[in-house]
Structure 1
Amino acid sequence: MSFRHLVIVSLLVAAAAIPLQISGGAEYPTVPPGAIILAVIALVVLAVRRWWVLIAPVVVTAALFVGAVLTPNVGDNLEAGGFARAGGTVIQLVAMGVALVAAVLGLVAERRHLSHRPPASRR
């Protein structure tokens, strides 16, 4: 599995963890923006085959991690217990962490691969 594929799968798992948290009583807006943003970024990474598209999951997952630290929601979800709410939160955080690391490694790998190609074939 390539780093790009790992990013896509991880983002989709993180997005799917949000409805799981909601089913356990976590407070989210009626239409959870995090799930939509994660799914859209996964689709963009799937559709756009340029190296620089991997910057998007780095920025988004880093921003969501910062938001998780600055708000009490993650702590509340973990303290509430239960698989749906606490487990969904753990799944989301782990999946976003995997997506972040895979996106950074993918950026390095794809950029390195690109720099070894002749100039006429670079994108």
Structure 2
Amino acid sequence: METTTSTRGTTRNDSATARPPAVIATLSALLLLAASIAGQTAAGADYPTVPPGLVIALVAATLLAWRTNGWTTGLALGVGLFIGVGAILTPDTGDHLSSGDTALIASTVAELVALAALVIAGAAAVLARKGARS
């Protein structure tokens, strides 16, 4: 017999644990960020052989998927802010967008969208975790 309980917007089955929508959105944004960095590398962007942003995004996604708690949601938000500030401050982003290379432009736009979504969803996930504790 399978029982179902519901607490504060999430449903939990005994056989599986559902994640809040903000956490799912955060995970999705982290994976889109990693994919967009891989796309930029494939399009010829000047990245190191192993792009740090790609590794950081995948590690944060793995940790968030493994343990959804206050520190992993905060870490995901921090990753979005850290890489987002780097993307804004580097001249490479503007160079990519004005390169004329469709693949490079598309992957850079995807990166910027992923970063915006990551910050928004990460903040929502952190606030939801904070609200769950009070």
TM-score between both structures, scaled by the size of structure 2: 0.80
| Partner deviation per Cα, 1:89-111 (whole Å, 9 max, x = no partner) | 11011011101110101111121
Q: Which residue number corresponds to residue 15 of structure 2? A: none
Give the unaligned 5+ runs of structure 1.
116-123
Alignment partner of 1:90 is 2:106: no
Q: Which residue number corresponds to residue 91 of structure 2? A: 72
| Partner deviation per Cα, 1:24-71 (whole Å, 9 max, x = no partner) | 221100111111110110111111121232111111111111111221
Q: Secondary structure at the match of 2:45?
A: coil
Alignment partner of 1:44 is 2:24: no
Greater share of strand residues, 1 or 2? 2
Q: Segments of 4+ in structure 1 off by > 6 A?
A: none
Distance 1:34 1:6 in 2: 19
Q: What is the total number of aligned residue pairs between the two structures? A: 115
Greater share of helix residues, 1 or 2? 1
1:17-28 → structure 2 map (5 Å cutoff): 17-28=36-47
TM-score between both structures, scaled by the size of structure 1: 0.87
- Larger Cα-atom Rg: 2
Paired residues of 2:60 and 2:72 also in contact (CA < 8 A): no
Give the unaligned 5+ runs of structure 2.
1-19
Larger RCO, structure (CA 8 Å, separation 6 or more): 1
Counterpart residue identity of residue 78, structure 1: L
Distance 1:23 1:33 in 2: 15
Q: How large is the RMSD of aligned CA atoms in angstroms? A: 1.3
Distance 1:56 1:102 in 2: 12
Q: Secondary structure at the match of 1:26?
A: coil
